[in-house]
Structure 1
Amino acid sequence: MFTLNLRRTCFIFIVFLHCFVVSSSFTVFTEQSVTAVKGGNVSIPCNFTGNPTFVWWWKHDSTGATDDDVTLVAREFEGIVEDAGIDRFNITKSENDYRLTIRNVSLLDETTYSCQVELDNHEDERGYTNLSVLALAEPLEPVIKLCHVTTPGHCTYFIDKNPPEQVNLVCELHQVRPPVNLTWKKIDGILRETDPPLVYDQNGLYTVSSVLQISRSEFDHQYKCEARGQAVNGVSSTTASFGSKTTETPQTGLHPGYIVLITFLILGIVIILVLIVVFYHIKVGIPCLSRDGAGSANLDSIPLNEVQSLRRNIRDYSPGSLTDKVLARGTYPNAPTRMAIVGLTGAGKSSFIRSLKCAYSGVYNKEIEVVAGSSSGGVTLEPTFYKITDNIHIQDNKGMRDLAINKINKTIMTNIKEKVISLLIFVIRPNDVQNDVETVTKFLTKLSKAVRTEFATYPMVIVTHRDMIPDLTIREAIRNKLVNMDIIQDKIIFVENFTEEPEDKSNSKDLIEEFLKILETMLVMADGNLVHQLNKKSLSE
């Protein structure tokens, strides 16, 4: 009896030991964490021993969520992979590795995944993996705004012949995850500390920016913006140097015979181009004029490289490209920059727009109807947008008969908001400033306050008919009056518009360059206002 019980006890113990060994030997092996790149593919391994009946891959509702908060993304039953209804997820088998493959990874895929395996003896185990998703910077090197890329990782920031007192270098990386760290280094000296980089979150992607202020005495150095983090694969950088907009043509060392041949070829091309331009002017319009001759001839008296540089900058302009202000989140809208011009009837609004178009295109066009030389003006009947380029539109508005205060909010500011205007230009004649100081003061003071509320900056004021006030003392008196009307001094510009007849023109030989610079100044102001509008809108959302 004792022997029988002993045998039964040993049998039960052996069976229990066998079950324990089998049970304890079944383990699901997964990696604790896996990293994927946004837009790419990733595989999460799941290894085990034994013959599986079921293999399930679960996506948890959030990283670290329990097994109850899951969604089935892929499964396999007795060797057959079954569709779980999500095309991007599937199981890839290789011996005892039932890995989950995710195609076209998105930020929403970042969470915990669990691989659940059931063997043919009904044993059940799970392994867990946390998936992290990276968004790599494109390009990997940080971008320094307004700095022209020469080679990967190097750019040149061009400054005018008369450089400013200081320049802000803005270094940015857009749409990255996780955020990177940006630091500034002076290549050949010790750099003072800068403020920590600004980081903006937009739906899980980050924009990181850092601003470095450089005084004019430090323009002869090079500055490196260095990014560190997973989103740039460790470390990347862009080095900025300063250069002048006007550079001399390097010596080529060509044989004199080649130089003569090239000279004749260039001369032939120039003659052909002149004939094309003449034919174009005959068919389309006449060139911009000045008192001392036709506009095309005036180019000989203007530094051609400066005019070409200004026209190229305007041609290549896109919204936001001429400001060092930082956009808090998002991107610039896919729409042109719009600027509106308002003023009293006959102030020269339409002539001013036509002068800008003439300076940019080199062609005097009658598209914008005005009365040349007329003081009454008043041809513009409805607000109309005129295109300088695809990205630059200027709105001409019907001239105001008087400076009634109620027109500011009722008409001008309503138009700014409805038409998404980024810059307001007020055009006025010298006589209006001098003869009706009280009315003009009340109007411009109210207008300036309304514009500052919208843009956090002042409007631009264009004083036309400059040739009527050749005395610089009188011009300065008019400027001072406008300053007392709450207009910033550097936003007051005196001009003499282009008109059809040469004798109506100023004798200045630099009109084309002057109006191109005015247009560039308008775009810089508009870009700053646009950033303010977008940032204000994002804060209110």
Structure 2
Amino acid sequence: MECEQLRDIVQNFRVHPQSAQGYNRVLLQLFGYLGHGKSSFINSCKFVLDGEYKIIAEAGIKDGGLTMERKSYRVTDSITLVDNRGFGFMNDFEKIEVCAQLGNFLPLDETVVWREDFGDIVARIEDADMDPNYSDYTVPVFIYSVQKMIHTEEEYEVKRFLKVCQEMTGIVPIVVLTHKTSGNYIAMEQKFKCLGAEVVIGVENYTSDDHRKTRGKHMGILNILKNALEDVQFHVNCYRDLRRERIERKKFLLRMVHDSVTAKKQKEDMEREEASRRPHHRYSVLFGLHERHSGKGQPTSQRLETEPKSTCEIL
């Protein structure tokens, strides 16, 4: 398919009214670690569809990342890109925030704060039910840079994230590998497929320093959007009980909150218990009790003067 034809398909996409089930917008929710190119991907999408390069999403600096809020960017009448706050260490409370975003329990265009208070988290989830969102169809997109070789300790987290995305949206995330020509793309593609990804697409984002149009870059971006829309069309053609699905997502999210808060409390209790023992150890070392009872410690010349000397030493 030629580039222009593919762009027309994306720009003219509409969910058929008879099968829409109340949906009128597709949310492509972008997730990923800090500094892997989510904002640059948004700028590239707008460039490919509009024909003029503009920086609408500010890209991260080095590894720090700049996105601190869940910002939305309308790219067509039916498609909105959402630049979610980048992951840090992907602890339990970041996972909760991500799940809440995937389930449309959090509003767009608000600052994202990783909360660890049980009451605050539950209150935000409950508030979402005052005006539930049934009109947005979420498609998760996971952004990862080929320049950053995935570490072994990250593999479990990524695999779990892909699974949670499917549980919360019904769709396996599209994996977008940025900086395609700056690393071992083939190895990275295979790695993500082994972790559960069904669709992995490599791209080179357009940037302020290099936005000369190329067919390869255009086709890469358009193929990602096309795959996302095909997922939506496939799923909306099947009947879905949206209210029941939202209830199940909420139950899943609340269980995650409960488990995470419980684990955090248990860890804090263990740390307090361990800290309460430390002063006794310090006092025993201070008064030389530890060395006397263990038979170990500093050389005789450095021991405390109160320690009894042997008969040989006295003579």
TM-score range (shorter-chain normalised) is 0.5 to 0.7
Decide which of 196, 207, 217 is 1:499's aligned counterpart: 207
Question: 1:377 Cα deviation (Å)?
Answer: 5.0
Question: Corresponding residue for 1:511?
Answer: 217
Instruction: Check the 8 A contact 2:87/2:94 in 1, yes or no.
Output: no
Q: Distance in 1 between matches of 2:176 and 2:64?
A: 16
Distance 1:381 1:454, change over 3 A: closer
Distance 1:361 1:404, change over 3 A: same
From 234, 238, 242, give the equivalent of 1:528: 234
SS for the counterpart of 2:75 is strand
Deviation of 1:421 (Å): 4.6
Question: Is residue 2:195 matched to residue 1:485?
Answer: yes
**3-state SS, counterpart of residue 346 of structure 1:** coil
Amino acid at match of 2:143: V
Matched, 1:347 2:36: yes
Q: Conserved in 1, the CA contact under 8 Å of 2:145 and 2:178? A: yes
Map of 1:414 onto structure 2: 100
Q: TM-score under structure 1 normalisation?
A: 0.37
User: Equivalent of 2:50, from 353, 357, 361?
Assistant: 361
Rate the CA distance shift 1:402–1:383 in 2: closer, same or farther, 3 A: same
Q: Secondary structure at the match of 1:411?
A: helix
Deviation, 1:334, is 5.5
What is residue 537 of structure 1 aligned with on the other side?
242
Which structure would you say has the larger Rg?
Answer: 1
Asked if the contact 1:339/1:526 (under 8 Å) is kept, the reply is no
| Matched residue SS, 1:389 | coil
Contact kept? 2:203, 2:217, Cα under 8 Å = no
How much has 1:484 moved relative to structure 2?
2.3
Give the one of 152, 159, 184 matched to 1:437: 152
Q: 1:334 to 1:445 in 2, by over 3 A?
A: closer
After superposition, the Cα gap between the structure-2 partners of 1:367 and 1:456, relative to the gap in structure 1 and judged at 3 Å, is: closer
1:55-74 aligned at under 5 Å gives the runs none
The residue number in structure 1 matching 2:113 is: none
Match of 1:404 in 2: 91
- Aligned residue identity for 1:340: Q
Aligned residue for 1:422, secondary structure, equals strand
- Whether the 8 Å CA contact 2:102–2:168 is kept in 1: the answer is no
Q: Give 3-state SS (helix, strand or coil) of 1:510's partner.
A: helix
Q: Which amino acid aligns with 1:465?
A: H
Are residue 462 (structure 1) and residue 167 (structure 2) matched?
Answer: no
In the TM superposition, what is the alpha-carbon distance from 1:536 to its structure 2 partner? 3.5
Paired residues, what number? 216
The Cα offsets for residues 243-284 of structure 1, whole Å up to 9 and x where unpaired, read as: xxxxxxxxxxxxxxxxxxxxxxxxxxxxxxxxxxxxxxxxxx
Q: Give the superposition deviation at 1:391.
A: 0.9
In structure 2, C-alpha distance between the alignment counterparts of 1:460 and 1:517, rounded to whole Å: 11
Could you tell me whether the CA contact under 8 Å between 1:369 and 1:379 is conserved in 2? yes
CA–CA distance in structure 2, aligned partners of residues 320 and 437 of structure 1: 43
Deviation, structure 1 residue 416:
1.8
Report the secondary structure of 1:342's partner residue. strand
Change (3 A) 1:531 1:353: farther
Q: Contact 1:426/1:459 (CA < 8 Å) preserved in 2?
A: yes
1:391 and 2:101 aligned: no
| d(CA) in 2 for partners of 1:485, 1:308 | 34
The residue type equivalent to 2:240 in the other structure is: N
Identity over aligned residues, as a percent?
21
State the alpha-carbon separation in 2 of the partners of residues 366 and 338 from structure 1: 20
Query: 2: distance between equivalents of 1:432 and 1:510?
Result: 22
> Deviations for 1:485-504, whole angstroms, at most 9, x for unmatched residues?
2222xx111111100113xx
Q: In 1, distance between residues paired with 2:196 and 2:83?
A: 24
Unpaired runs of 5+ in structure 1?
A: 1-159, 161-305
Q: 2:27 touches 2:82 (CA, 8 Å); kept in 1?
A: yes
Structure-1 separation of matches of 2:33 and 2:86: 5
Write the deviation string for residues 431-456 of structure 1: whole angstroms up to 9, x where unpaired: 4443x122x21112211221222344
RMSD (Å) for aligned C-alpha atoms: 2.8
Match of 1:427 in 2: 143
Bigger strand fraction: 1
The 5-angstrom pairing of residues 61-460 of structure 1 reads 306-320=2-16, 327=19, 331-333=20-22, 335-371=24-60, 374-376=61-63, 378-408=65-95, 410-417=96-103, 418=105, 420-434=136-150, 436-438=151-153, 440-460=154-174
CA displacement at 1:320 relative to structure 2: 5.0
- The residue type paired with residue 518 of structure 1 is I
Any unmatched runs of 5+ in structure 2? 107-135, 248-315
User: Structure with the greater relative contact order (CA < 8 A, sep ≥ 6): 1 or 2?
Assistant: 2
Higher helix share: 2
One-letter amino acid of the counterpart of residue 511, structure 1: K
